[in-house]
Amino acid sequence: MQLPEAFIQKYSKLLGEEAPAFFHAFDEQPTKGFRLNPLKTHVEPLNHAIDDPVSYCQFGYYGSVSGKTIDHQSGLIYSQEPSAMYVGEVAHPKPGDRVLDLCAAPGGKTTHLASYMNQQGLLVSNEINRKRAEILAENVERFGLQNTIVTNESPDTLEKHFVNFFDVVVVDAPCSGEGMFRKDHEAMQYWTPEYPLSCANRQKKILQSALQMLKPGGRLIYSTCTFAPEEDEQNIAWLLKNYADLKIVPIKKYPGMSDGRPEWADNNSELAKTLRIFPHKMRGEGHFIAQLEKQINDSNRKEPKLQKTNVTKQQKQDWHKVADKLLTNSIEDSRLLVFGDYLYAMPANLPDLTKLQVIRPGINLGVFKKNRFEPALPLALAFKPVNFQKPVQISEEQWQKYVHGDTFTITKDVENGWHVLTNHELTIGFGKVVNGVVKNFYPKKLRFEIKN
């Protein structure tokens, strides 16, 4: 790989004797990986081998992902670069925590954080770019998250709504992307010697907002996919100098992981508690991770008012007409929220969303149409087969017809109406059975053809 000359000069000086091995790693193939979704039924993937686990990630495996598979479309697996998996492991929130993923698209960190929360607490997944926020929402829905909302806000706007609110804040900051050069060659096209400093200044503003939203006693996880000291150790040194209530929390380091480099910042020995992943030492791309704790003080913590339901009596009736025949357990009416024609189930104790740009305020249950309610795919993916009445098991051949948008027949004596479709103990989506024919309601924008 032809690296920028200024990049070579910079890291030859910084790495010294390590530099040749570091540069040689850029000519190697990038490492791919994926995580299993523990929120789904405990089944092994149909289409992906899990014989090469990632030692530092409870749910992680090495290997590439095929998107046109039941594994992927059901949300059983999520493609993620192995080094990036360690961010979620370090954050490791508990069920019931309030968690913010501040720069969340496309969703790798969010889905990993949620894997530990067991659908409890609140996870706010934010992305400032609208198109990327919509992709984030799709990945959140496929993963089946019930306790997650997706917002499309700038950090400084978000901080006004969540002062001293979150137990854990993850900032996987937009960066110069040096660690992704061999995976994404286009990242080199944006790189200049000045670019890391420009990114570092933007990251400081994001971190300022993050700290406003972190409650006393809470943890901030800061990560980048760059080698640049300006964006890594130097930013953490800046935090320690400007926020007296912050301290670095050590991160467990597995074989091949490196200490942060105090000499690349202000020589504060505490910076060695941060973590670096270099591609010449690990099976993965470049990454930097720091964990900080906000010390408990006497700052006022004002709880925001909660979001109230806005569903009408008629909408409630239309919803229950379908839901009472579809679900084994009811969703509390107090959690129902209407956005346009769409009905959502809010996470419990959701703060008021007024004046925020929200992409997804909870589980997308479905859409109100003239005199009826039509359930949506995210509702099917958010629950296990046991949570639905009379699930209909379909074959892989029928699944292929389903994701292509075709109708198909079933041989079982299945009563007419809405049914969740399953395969391999996984929920796939909804179909409406009419006299033995399954009418297809797989979203048109997600349809694809599998050529055998």
Residue set of the binding site for S-adenosyl-L-methionine: 103-109, 127, 172
Rounded to whole angstroms, the Cα distance separating 358 from 415 reads: 38
Query: Is 225 tagged catalytic?
Result: yes
* Residue 139 and residue 111 in contact, taking contact as beta carbons nearer than 8 Å: yes
Distant-in-sequence, close-in-space partners of 17: CB < 8 Å, separation ≥ 6: none
Rounded to whole angstroms, the Cα distance separating 293 from 63 reads: 34
- CA 165 to chain CA centroid, Å, is 20
Cα-trace Rg, the chain: 23
For 212, the enclosing helix (H) or strand (E) is helix 195-213
Residue in 57, 175, 199, 225 annotated catalytic: 225
| β-strands 287-294, 214-224 pairing | antiparallel
Q: Give catalytic residues, as residue numbers.
A: 225
